[in-house]
Amino acid sequence: MGNPRPKQKNLGEKLRLIRKRLDIPQDRMPFRLGLEMHPGRISEYEHNKREPSLYTLLAYANLAGVHLEVIANDNVDLPEQIPGDVHHPLTPPEQLHCNED
């Protein structure tokens, strides 16, 4: 079986900070990420009870305008300015800044 892979200690806090800096309530976060999931999943991510998929982390990176490494690497801090100025070329523009009705 081997050793379990190490978990990032700061991941949940980074995801919470992204949501707070973008002023998005937990229940609207799945919509803003462009993902279909129960809003309670966001709380599980933020409290490190569940680890988000790579696809979910990419959605966070796209929404926050940061590189994925900034979110996934415990040794790298989030920038103060969120959204950042990173534009992911494979992300459709309508997913980057999704307007709520």
Does residue 65 belong to any structural domain of this protein?
yes
Does residue 2 belong to any structural domain of this protein?
no
Q: What is the pLDDT along the chain (101 residues), one digit of tens a residue?
A: 566 777 789 999 999 999 999 999 999 999 999 999 999 999 999 999 999 999 999 999 999 999 999 999 999 999 999 988 887 766 655 554 444 43
Does residue 4 belong to any structural domain of this protein?
no
Domain span at 61: 11-96
The span from the CA of 88 to the CA of 93, in Å, is: 9
Contacts for 50 with CB less than 8 Å, ≥ 6 apart: 41, 44
Q: Which CATH number fits the domain that encloses residue 30?
A: 1.10.260.40
Could you write out the DSSP letters of every residue in 20-44? HHTT--GGGHHHHHT----THHHHH
Asked if 86 and 67 count as a contact pair (C-beta separation under 8 A), the reply is yes
The span from the CA of 53 to the CA of 55, in Å, is: 5
Does residue 29 belong to any structural domain of this protein?
yes
Number of domain units in the chain: 1
